[in-house]
Structure 1
Amino acid sequence: MKRRTLMTGAVALTLAAAVPALALADTLDDIKARGTLRAAIDLGSPPFGMQDANMQPTGSEVESAKLLADHLGVKLEIVEVTSPNRIPFLLTGKADVVIASLSISEERKQVIDFADPHGVIQVIAAAPKGIEIKSLEDLKGKELATTRGTTNDKEATTQATESTIVRYDDDATLVTALVSGQNDIMVSAPQIMNAVNERRTADPLEAKIVLKVNPYAVGLRKGEDALKAAVNQWVADDLANGKLNEIYKRYNNVDLPAEMPKP
């Protein structure tokens, strides 16, 4: 049975903030001594993270994490997470960084630090052609499906205040609900809509309105200045040489902005 919950993203972040950050001397030194970068990645959020036909991790954030590991001169170890537990896994030391299309928000910045953005993601409302949505006013009284604890959840909650928000535990479950027709309107990313339409061919969704455009970045524990500087250098280098854009375009079919938005 598909699990859904009405727990808000704000509550999820409050719980995350309640988990004490580990007192680590220098995570960058630990990474290099260990010889591996433990990156928290959501493999249920195509095209950012998923599994290929051979059940191997793939996606734009998986490829980006490999670039970062190469930049640091270590191997990549993927720590599989879901959208709601990305930050708790980081705070409890189960991962060194989060690389999971983690949108930058003021709420999250109270709990963790962010490196410079290496990608962008839109928050859209999408529905089948037969449902007319031209503004937030058209969402009143409608049931909107989203993923709990994400910036999509936050925008749905704060902007569509007279709608019923149905929250799923991860993007994979959200996609399944939309494919099955359990829900017909979503607030999520265009990439999630594409994943739905690959399987919902008879009555595909289409983007109706854009609620927000968010930059996303690597998430780090607070106080990790050396690691943050190293990640920022990687972002600068691989944006300049086109490697990050090549990955983003391969999985999203569009280029990154010529100038990345400032968080």
Structure 2
Amino acid sequence: MNIHRRHASALVAALGLALALPASADVLANINSRKKLRVATDMGIPPFGMLDGSLQPTGSDVEVARALAADWGVEVEFINTTGPTRIPNVNTDKADVVISSLSVTEERAKVVDFTKPYSFIRTTVIAPVADKSVRDWGDLKGKSIAVVRSTMQDVELTARASALGINVVRFDDDATVITAALSGQATYVGLGDPQMKAINQRAGAKPFEAKLVIKQFPIAMGVKKGEPALLAKLNEWIAVNAKSGKLNALYRKHHGVDVPAELLQP
């Protein structure tokens, strides 16, 4: 078969390029080879991830990552991230796995593979423990609920406001809502569990508690699509530690509540 010299040169160049391109990555093999697990974790969302007084990582997600690495016999390296960069970090190979309060949503599932849930986040209507007037949603009729503007709590409660007969009062940030609760300006507040914990750290003898659940989301680890071996091994680890109670113990240590049993099915 005759091949024109120009075509032959192009074929050689194409083959060279193909050989130069890296093969499809096997993230689990890379973890085992380097003896290091790179974990994308946001250190700015206590109590999931934060820095302690010595500027060392701590929090429920941090402890999960450390336990995982220890069981696998590898070192853990935290890749500090923010909410928007969690998934890009695994999809650009800067991290091997996201362990960072990553709630499971349909949109995210289009660009990352989720493990089984290992944790959860919920938002609730909270009020002082001493307030015994609210036992169900009907008890909120005529009451005002403080929220942070444009949060999921705002969206959910605003959608229900007319039917429930409630007044949604919006503040600009968590710190302002927390101050309103502690000062008595707001008796009923729509916040996530982490913010309730922040309130109770300062509430002294007048603590708050969750009265009604607005919504809760399972939290899972995220990995780059096309990594079945890594996904399977992570799911195996989660199943073992869900059954043993370790995952719930780590969550309760930092959040003060249990992970719903139905979310931690081995």
- Scaled by the length of structure 1, the TM-score of the pair is 0.70
Q: Distance in 2 between matches of 1:205 and 1:82?
A: 29
Q: Distance in 2 between matches of 1:210 and 1:125?
A: 6
* 8 Å contact kept, 1:124–1:212: yes
SS for the counterpart of 2:148 is strand
- 1:121-200 residue pairs with structure 2 within 5 A? 121-126=121-126, 135=137, 144-145=147-148, 153-154=151-152, 156-158=154-156, 160-161=158-159, 174=174, 176-181=175-180, 187-199=190-202
Structure 2 residue aligned with 1:109 = 109
Q: 1:74 to 1:261 in 2, by over 3 A?
A: closer
Q: 1:177 to 1:93 in 2, by over 3 A?
A: farther
Structure 1 residue aligned with 2:80 = 80
Q: 1:165 to 1:227 in 2, by over 3 A?
A: farther
Structure 1 residue aligned with 2:119 = 119
Q: Considering fraction of residues, name the structure with more helix.
A: 2
- Number of matched residues? 228
* 8 Å contact kept, 1:141–1:164: yes
Answering whether residue 197 of structure 2 is matched by residue 223 of structure 1, we say: no
Q: 1:140 to 1:96 in 2, by over 3 A?
A: farther
Q: Can you give the 5+ residue segments of structure 2 that lack an aligned partner in the other structure?
A: 1-22, 162-167
Answering whether residue 96 of structure 2 is matched by residue 96 of structure 1, we say: yes
Q: 1:38 to 1:167 in 2, by over 3 A?
A: farther
Q: Distance in 2 between matches of 1:212 and 1:39?
A: 27
1:257 Cα deviation from its structure 2 partner? 3.5
Q: Distance in 1 between matches of 2:142 and 2:218?
A: 25
Deviations 1:64-90 (A, max 9, x none): 001111233211111122333322333
1:159 Cα deviation from its structure 2 partner? 5.0
Structure exhibiting the larger radius of gyration computed from Cα positions: 2
Structure 1 residue aligned with 2:31 = 31
Answering whether residue 249 of structure 2 is matched by residue 251 of structure 1, we say: no
* 8 Å contact kept, 1:178–1:196: no
Deviations 1:22-73 (A, max 9, x none): x952111122222211111122222221222222111111110011112332
* 8 Å contact kept, 2:102–2:222: yes
Q: Distance in 2 between matches of 1:221 and 1:122?
A: 26
Q: Can you give the 5+ residue segments of structure 1 that lack an aligned partner in the other structure?
A: 1-22, 169-173
Higher RCO (CA-CA < 8 Å; seq separation 6+): 1
Q: Distance in 1 between matches of 2:44 and 2:79?
A: 13
Structure 2 residue aligned with 1:237 = 240
Let me know the Cα RMSD of the aligned residues.
3.4
Deviations 1:70-118 (A, max 9, x none): 2332111111223333223333332211111211122221221110111
* 8 Å contact kept, 1:239–1:245: yes
- 1:9-24 residue pairs with structure 2 within 5 A? none
SS for the counterpart of 1:255 is coil
Structure 2 residue aligned with 1:67 = 67
1:202 Cα deviation from its structure 2 partner? 9.1
Percent of aligned positions with the same letter in both sequences? 39
* 8 Å contact kept, 2:145–2:190: no
Q: 1:123 to 1:28 in 2, by over 3 A?
A: same
1:143 Cα deviation from its structure 2 partner? 6.2
1:167 Cα deviation from its structure 2 partner? 6.8
